[in-house]
Structure 1
Amino acid sequence: MKKVCSFILLWSAAAGFCPLAAAQDQPTASARVLKVDDSGTVVLDPVLEMQWQPPGRSGSTSLVSASTRVSVQLNLAAWVGRSGRIYMTLPRAPGPTVRATWKTGGTLLPGTLLSGDRTLVYAGPVTGPVIRDLIEIALEADGARLTQPEALAFGFEIELDQ
Structure 2
Amino acid sequence: MRLFGGSGRQAEAEAYVEAAMPRLVGLAFALTGHKADAEDLVQDTLALVVTKWSRVREAENIDAYVRRTMINTLASRKRRRSSTELVSHETVTADWSAPPSPAADQDSVDRATVLAMVRALPDRQRAVVALRYYEDLADREIAHALGCSEQAVRSAAHAALRSLRSLVPTHLGEEAQR
TM-score by structure 1 length?
0.25
- Hey, which of these two has a bigger chunk of strand by percent? 1
- Hey, which of these two has a bigger chunk of helix by percent? 2
